[in-house]
């Protein structure tokens, strides 16, 4: 992934008193690239995790909404040292509702100072890069089941991580010229005739599933199911 930052010399000359303008532009650009990186690692058609799971590691929900039984089935696929579930925040909320309805509210755990829901001791990590396919409105049974017809379908991933555990690993190129952090470099490209400086920002990344049983996917997860408590 590459992009170019262009900054006029007047900007750095006049507005560097409170903030280093180049540093701030680089920070914002790198943050945007990291967001894109997260999306690509999940969704890329070649190496994205949603497409990397083999058919035997893909299961569907029993009835649509994600239930404790569904996550137990997923754990039965990735049963060797599962690290975490990865799901859209709406999918995690839907799972919480199903647990509440059954009287088994999932416990929480603090990770980096923030609370996360867990199931069977495995945390559910939210990511809004996991896509929600808004096709549920076309399901004729949606209204009859108390479902929000504007909601949609998504997936929940479960993975084992780390090279030593033969799990899911991130790949990056290190030792680049102008490297700022592993896999990310910034190179000065010069100043044009209009006094605009250009900087090339490059981010190399990929992901790999070292063994087939390291990644499981729960498909067909409905996120718009609600219950009336009387």
Alpha carbons 154 and 132: distance in angstroms, whole number: 5
Domain residue limits, the chain = 2-41+170-200, 49-167+210-222
Residue 123 token pair: 């945390």
Alpha carbons 223 and 212: distance in angstroms, whole number: 27
pLDDT at residue number 63: 92
Assigned architecture for domain 49-167+210-222 = 2-Layer Sandwich (3.30)
Q: Identify each DSSP E strand in 101-147 by its residue range.
A: 108-111, 114-119, 122-126
What confidence tens digit (pLDDT) does each residue in 119-153 have?
A: 999 999 999 999 999 865 445 455 555 555 557 99
What confidence tens digit (pLDDT) does each residue in 27-85 have?
A: 999 999 999 999 999 999 999 999 999 999 999 999 999 999 999 999 999 999 999 99
**Could you tell me the pTM of the whole model?**
0.87
**Residues 16-46 as b or e (16 or more Cβ within 10 Å = b):** eeeeebbeebbeebbeebeeebebbbbebee
CB 109 within 8 A of CB 115: yes
Query: Which of 178, 170, 220 shows the shortest CA–CA distance to 201?
Result: 178
Q: Please tell me what DSSP assigns to residue 27.
A: H
């Amino acid at each position: 992934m590459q992009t170019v930052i262009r900054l006029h010399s007047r900007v750095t000359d006049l507005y560097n008193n409170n903030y280093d303008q180049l540093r701030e532009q680089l920070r914002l650009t790198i943050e945007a690239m990291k967001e894109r990186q997260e999306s690509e690692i999940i969704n890329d058609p070649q190496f994205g995790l949603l497409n990397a799971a083999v058919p035997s590691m893909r299961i569907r929900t029993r009835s649509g909404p994600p239930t404790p039984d569904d996550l137990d089935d997923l754990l039965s696929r990735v049963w060797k040292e599962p690290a975490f579930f990865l799901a859209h925040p709406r999918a995690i909320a839907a799972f919480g509702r199903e647990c509440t309805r059954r009287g088994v509210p999932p416990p929480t755990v603090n990770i980096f100072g923030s609370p996360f829901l867990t199931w069977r001791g495995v945390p559910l990590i939210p990511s809004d890069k996991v896509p929600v396919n808004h096709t549920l409105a076309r399901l004729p049974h949606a209204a009859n089941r108390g479902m929000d017809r504007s909601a949609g379908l998504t997936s929940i991933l479960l993975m084992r991580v780390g090279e030593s555990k033969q799990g899911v690993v991130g790949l990056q190129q290190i030792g680049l010229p102008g490297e700022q952090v592993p896999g990310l470099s910034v190179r000065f490209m010069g100043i044009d005739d209009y006094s605009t400086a250009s900087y090339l920002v490059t981010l190399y990344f990929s992901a790999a599933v070292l063994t087939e049983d390291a990644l499981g996917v729960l498909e067909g997860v409905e996120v718009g199911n609600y219950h009336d408590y009387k």
